[in-house]
């Protein structure tokens, strides 16, 4: 049953929010709580919370095909993002991801790009990684410092109070680490490091002054506040079934938090199965008048009116909508007088994976399934004489665990010897995955395909982005760095895997696509001002990943949320004074 108000075509609203994910939910919450009638437009299906589509309460044998996806879904060109990330398609969460075959996009064959999408109410907030990391002052200053991309019109001090605000609401379990590169925030009790992680953290602290292993900062509740329990959110049970949807509401999502908060006000209306095609522009007023959508089921077109429009559809989707919103004033897409819409597409890149054994802890064991890994913040903000690249990288998905030897089905041997071997635990293992910062290159761009459309007649998005020589140099250095760091920690059986830089390198795999409508002070070179407000169309705001002017190395969702809350507060003030 749909839990939200329904809408009529001729209804008019104070605010239209396109998208119901991480940022769309926040925009809806902020405007509804400020008393504004708000319409949220979601292109995907309705989804309740908790939902019958959640599989987090099912045992493996209760899942379809014992958790494996049907064979017909494994053919080439379908769910490529899941195959690339997990190696095998699983049925426990595939319903929350988009089938590339049904929702196509394009890219040059020699420059592949992976675009992960989730078309349902709540968007990708159902399946996100929940790592919430603040950016530091150096991250916002990098563009201006080295001249790459458009200089940020805001700094850390502008977002700091909004980081506080967002963290207090969503619930962040983390430790106060005291690092300038990764500012502390409003935290709940952190998850505990394993014995191997503590050992490595201690060794690095003794040897390095700038390289730190810390517990990840997770949007999973460890000690829910009254506000969070009031929304029906419960404490995380450390089951690590997050991507299946969380019946407990223990991790933050639009469905478990922001949309219910907005609903409580009575000011929220949600329409699903409505594909935003264009932002409508009024030539007489010079403002956006609303949104035209195409019904996902009937394919009929209809429009909605509002005083203010917030694009929160995800970075690339918002860019697609903007480019498709053509008018006499904006023949190349709304708010695109600078020609910058679609440019500076970024994503974090990998390139290095490390694995090693941690010996000497044979009397220690681990239990439970912590929902977050450990993290190594960027330690290369400042260029040193021994490297010839700028910006930097950190390491994520780092973990120290002691797995059992596992099933004997793949082992050689029979009888008592094989049985005894099955009882022996493997050594503690530590794994690390590089997360690098892609520079904001103008030529990394997204555009509308000149001939291909989707089944609703909307031009497909064509994404043409790649890493440059700076990123390739980072990969080589990161491989050397992590090998040295594991040796310093006393690890053995160290194995380093490095990307083959002669082959095609796929961006998009980290699901952290950013850019396309960057913020900046100069309307001639940027799309949005310091409030994520269009330079050209004053009642149009873009607060998802499209607004980012650089990508730093940290997971970006916390910064999106802070930017959205700040922009909504600013827009609401303009509305109250009659300026919008």
Q: Is the peptide bond before 50 cis (omega within 30 degrees of 0)?
A: yes
What pLDDT is stored for residue 407 in this prediction?
A: 47
Report the pLDDT averaged over residues 242-270.
97
pLDDT band at 367 (very low <50, low <70, confident <90, very high): confident
Transcribe 334-367 into DSSP letters. TT-TTS-TTBS-B--B--EEEEEEE-S-TT----
Measured distance CA(120)–CA(42) in Å, rounded: 7
- For the cut 80, the answer to whether the pLDDT of residue 137 exceeds it is yes
Report the pLDDT averaged over residues 266-293.
98
pLDDT band at 86 (very low <50, low <70, confident <90, very high): low
Report the pLDDT averaged over residues 85-90.
67
What pLDDT is stored for residue 196 in this prediction?
A: 93
Mean residue pLDDT of the chain comes to: 93
Q: What is the DSSP-derived secondary structure letter of residue 243?
A: G
Q: Name, in order, each residue with C-beta under 8 angstroms of 302's C-beta and a sequence gap of 6 or more.
A: 9, 292, 293, 295
Q: Name, in order, each residue with C-beta under 8 angstroms of 557's C-beta and a sequence gap of 6 or more.
A: 22, 128, 131, 132
The enclosing H or E element of 393 equals strand 393-401
Report the pLDDT averaged over residues 48-56.
95
292 three-class SS? strand
Measured distance CA(386)–CA(392) in Å, rounded: 13
Q: Name, in order, each residue with C-beta under 8 angstroms of 448's C-beta and a sequence gap of 6 or more.
A: 320, 323, 324, 459, 460, 461, 462
Task: Give the tens place of pLDDT for each residue, 471-520.
Answer: 999 999 999 999 999 999 999 999 999 988 778 788 999 899 999 999 99
- For the cut 90, the answer to whether the pLDDT of residue 318 exceeds it is yes
The residue ranges of DSSP E strands in 150-246, in sequence order, are: 214-215
410, 403, 423: which is closest to 355 by C-alpha? 403
pLDDT band at 85 (very low <50, low <70, confident <90, very high): low
pLDDT band at 9 (very low <50, low <70, confident <90, very high): low
Helices (H) and strands (E) counted in the chain, each on its own, are: 11, 15
189, 247, 254: which is closest to 222 by C-alpha? 189
What pLDDT is stored for residue 399 in this prediction?
A: 73
547, 211, 510: which is closest to 376 by C-alpha? 211
Task: Give the tens place of pLDDT for each residue, 340-366.
Answer: 999 999 999 999 999 999 998 888 887
**End-to-end CA, the chain:** 35
What pLDDT is stored for residue 410 in this prediction?
A: 53
Task: Give the tens place of pLDDT for each residue, 391-445.
Answer: 999 998 777 777 655 444 555 677 787 777 666 677 899 999 999 999 999 999 9
Contact criterion met (CB below 8 Å) for 220 and 235: no
The enclosing H or E element of 269 equals strand 268-271
What pLDDT is stored for residue 334 in this prediction?
A: 98
Report the pLDDT averaged over residues 158-179.
98
Neighbours of 454 (CB within 10 A): 17
Residues in the chain: 580
CATH no., domain 1-173+253-348+440-465+512-580: 3.50.50.60
Task: Give the tens place of pLDDT for each residue, 516-558.
Answer: 999 999 999 999 999 999 999 999 999 999 999 999 999 999 9
**Is 423 exposed, middle or buried (CB count within 10 Å of its CB: 0-12, 13-18, 19+)?**
exposed
Query: What's the pTM value of the predicted model, to 2 decimals?
Result: 0.95
Angle of helix 156-170 versus helix 557-576 axis, rounded to 10? 100
**What phi-psi label fits residue 462: left (phi over 0), alpha (psi between -120 and 50 degrees) or beta?**
beta
For CA atoms 169, 158, 512, 486, give the dihedral sign.
Answer: negative
């Amino acid at each position: 049953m749909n839990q939200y108000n329904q809408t009529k075509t001729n209804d008019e609203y104070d605010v239209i929010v396109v998208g119901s994910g991480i940022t769309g939910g926040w925009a809806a919450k902020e405007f509804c709580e400020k008393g504004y009638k708000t319409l949220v437009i979601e292109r995907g299906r309705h989804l309740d919370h908790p939902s019958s589509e959640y599989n987090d309460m099912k045992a493996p044998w209760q899942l379809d095909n014992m958790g494996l996806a049907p064979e017909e879904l494994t053919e080439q060109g379908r769910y490529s993002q899941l195959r690339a990330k997990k190696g095998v398609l699983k049925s426990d969460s595939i319903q929350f991801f988009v089938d590339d075959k049904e929702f196509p996009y394009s890219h040059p064959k020699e420059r592949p790009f992976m675009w992960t999408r989730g078309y349902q109410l709540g968007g990708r907030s159902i399946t996100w990684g929940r790592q919430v990391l603040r950016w530091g002052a150096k991250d916002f200053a990098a563009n201006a410092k080295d001249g790459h991309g458009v200089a940020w019109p805001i700094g850390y001090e502008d977002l700091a109070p909004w980081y506080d605000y967002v963290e207090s609401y969503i619930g962040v379990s983390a430790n106060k680490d005291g690092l300038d590169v990764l500012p502390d925030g409003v935290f709940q009790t952190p998850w505990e490091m394993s014995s191997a992680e503590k050992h490595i953290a201690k060794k690095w602290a003794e040897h390095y002054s700038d390289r730190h292993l810390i517990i990840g900062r997770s949007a999973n509740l460890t000690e829910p506040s009254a506000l969070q329990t009031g929304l029906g959110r419960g404490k995380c049970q450390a089951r690590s079934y997050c991507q299946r949807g969380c019946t407990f509401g223990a991790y933050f999502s639009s469905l478990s938090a922001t949309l219910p908060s907005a609903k409580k006000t009575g000011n929220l209306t949600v329409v699903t199965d409505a594909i935003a095609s264009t932002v409508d522009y009024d030539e007489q007023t010079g403002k956006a008048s609303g949104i035209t959508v195409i019904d996902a089921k009937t394919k009929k077109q209809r429009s909605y009116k509002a005083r203010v429009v917030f694009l929160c559809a995800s970075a690339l989707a918002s860019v697609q909508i903007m480019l498709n919103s053509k008018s006499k004033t904006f023949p190349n897409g709304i708010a695109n007088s600078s020609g910058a819409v679609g440019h500076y597409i970024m994503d974090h890149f990998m390139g290095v994976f490390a694995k090693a054994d941690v010996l000497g802890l044979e009397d220690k064991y681990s239990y439970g399934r912590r929902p977050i890994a450990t993290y190594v913040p960027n330690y290369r903000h400042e260029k040193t004489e021994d490297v010839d690249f700028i910006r930097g990288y950190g390491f994520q998905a780092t973990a120290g665990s002691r797995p059992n030897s596992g099933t004997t089905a793949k082992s050689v041997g029979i009888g008592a010897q094989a049985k005894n071997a099955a009882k022996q635990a493997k050594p503690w293992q530590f794994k690390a995955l590089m997360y690098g910062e892609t520079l904001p290159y103008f030529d990394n761009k997204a555009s509308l395909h000149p001939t291909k459309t989707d089944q609703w007649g909307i031009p497909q998005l064509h994404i043409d982005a790649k890493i440059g020589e700076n990123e390739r140099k980072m990969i080589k250095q990161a491989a050397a760095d992590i090998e040295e760091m594991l040796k310093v920690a006393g690890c053995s059986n160290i194995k380093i895997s490095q990307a083959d830089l002669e082959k095609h390198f796929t961006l998009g795999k980290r699901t952290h696509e950013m850019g396309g409508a960057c913020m900046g002070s100069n309307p001639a070179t940027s799309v949005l001002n310091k409030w994520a407000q269009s330079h050209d169309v004053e009642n149009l705001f873009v607060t998802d990943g499209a607004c980012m002017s650089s990508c730093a190395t940290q997971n970006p969702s916390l910064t999106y949320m802070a930017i959205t809350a700040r922009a909504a507060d600013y827009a609401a003030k303009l509305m109250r004074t009659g300026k919008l």
